[in-house]
Amino acid sequence: MKPAKKIQDSSKLYTWLRHYVDWSLIHAYREHEIVGLENIPENTSIILAPNHSNALMDALIVLSMNEPYKVFVARADMFRVRILAKILTFLKIMPIMRIRDGVDEVKKNQETIDKSVSVLEDGVPFCILPEGTHRPQHSLLPLGKGIFRIGLQAQELLGDKRDVCIVPVGIEYGNYYRYRSTVFIQVGEPINLREQQKAHPELQPAELTNLLRQKLTKAMQQLILYLPANERYDASHELVTLVSETTQDEMRNEGFVGSKLHCRVKASQRIAKNITSWSESQPQKMEELLQLCQEIHDSRMQHKISCATTSARRPWCKHLPNYLLSLICAPYLLVCLLAQAPIAGIGKILLGLFKDRAFHNSIRLVLNLIFWPLMMLIYGILLFCNLPWEWALVAFTALTPFPIFAQDAFRTLRLLVSDWKLTCNKGLRQAICKARELYQQLNTETR
């Protein structure tokens, strides 16, 4: 009699699909970078703990980080539809109840915990998003206890055979709602549960869990742009955006070595720390600056001006090469836009069904996964039936990346309109200049 198949067991279909999804995910972003993979220890049982800000995209990004396949958990209500439950199980996702589902329902989590321990025992990486729910903000929700309960149970079962480590992962998006934005993934140093147990033998399980939660929270905050989710969140984020370019230049002059994307994230973290520090040491000046940034945010949102426009000191100079290139390639981009139109039309209908915009990029990715090869099949048939095969082959090859170029063309057009709106809004431009001046004054005074 064959042993029952475990969720962590792989299959040829899953492996093939995994490669296709990874490839599609990487091309869903203009820039995609991972640092810190060397922090994932070998010969240990790994629990990956990423922040949760962008629905399905967070899990897929963690899956694509490195070669080993991973097992995930998702909220249990997604498993109520039988066919969806089978699909999720095939994708190596297990159900987990949340407190909001009721205390009695949470008690059913023991089966998932047992399976999770089995996954770790087999050395398969396990991923749980400890915030429990997503929120499209550069912040962090309170972490749940489930990740620590699973980790400690697994460590108890494994004993000295293998250590269990919780590895924090920070995911930073350039934009939560725009397709073909940017994503920066940073893997932090692992928290070894056996070492923590040995270092704190006097702690009861509940006390050890609280200690681990504090450590993981701090570690995750250091891997992302962390802004407290209070009444000053929008103003603080606006300030980070406005002075990011200048701060990146400062960091480069100080000797920072790293990619442009890495530098941008580090600069944002520096600005966030300054906001916290100056709010204590210079409360009056910071209140004036944040109030001005709130006004800038409100005006920008009212006039639908992009952060990509306001973040640049000279938007037209920065974006002009892209505009000229798009103009030169306009005929080709127009063909790509026409080819993308059916997928965009279906997407517009589906996106209207989801009030939570954090799901929009996940839906766009799924649509491209399904319809990109299907549309290429249709276009290929049309081309080869109506053109000589040599011309049809050239046209088919040129058309293959149409979803990528179509989305980039949409972005360029949005950016062009946004730059023009800012040019016409003298009051907003003056407010932005004043905010940057106030920030630099504080920066000079506090050095």
Would you kindly state where each structural domain of the chain is located, as residue ranges? 12-221, 233-305+426-445, 320-424
CATH class belonging to 12-221: alpha beta
Q: What are phi and psi of 173, to 5 degrees?
A: -100, 145
pLDDT digits (tens, 9 = 90+) for 125-168: 999 999 988 899 999 999 988 899 889 988 988 888 889 999 99
Give the C-alpha separation, 176 to 168, whole Å.
Answer: 20
**31 sits in which H/E element:** strand 29-35
Single out the residue of 378, 388, 39, 394 nearest to residue 188, CA to CA. 39
**Please, are residues 355 and 334 in contact by the beta-carbon 8 Å criterion?**
no
For residue 94, the model assigns a pLDDT of 84
Encode burial over 409-444: b for 16+ CB neighbours within 10 A, e otherwise.
bbbbeebbebbebbeebeebeebbeebbebbeebbe
Q: What residues contact residue 53 under an 8 Å CB cut-off, 6+ apart?
A: 134, 135, 136, 137, 138, 171, 173, 176, 358
Question: Cβ neighbours of residue 313 under 8 Å, at least 6 residues apart?
Answer: 245, 246
CA distance 309 to 424: 13
Amino acid 426 reads: K
Question: What are the two backbone dihedrals, phi and then psi, of residue 273, each rounded to the nearest 5 degrees?
Answer: -65, -40
All residue ranges of the chain with pLDDT < 70 are: 1-4, 97-109
Pick from 34, 62, 210, 205: nearest CA to 128: 62
Helices (H), 304-359: 307-310, 315-328, 330-351
Distance of alpha carbon 6 from alpha carbon 396, whole angstroms: 42
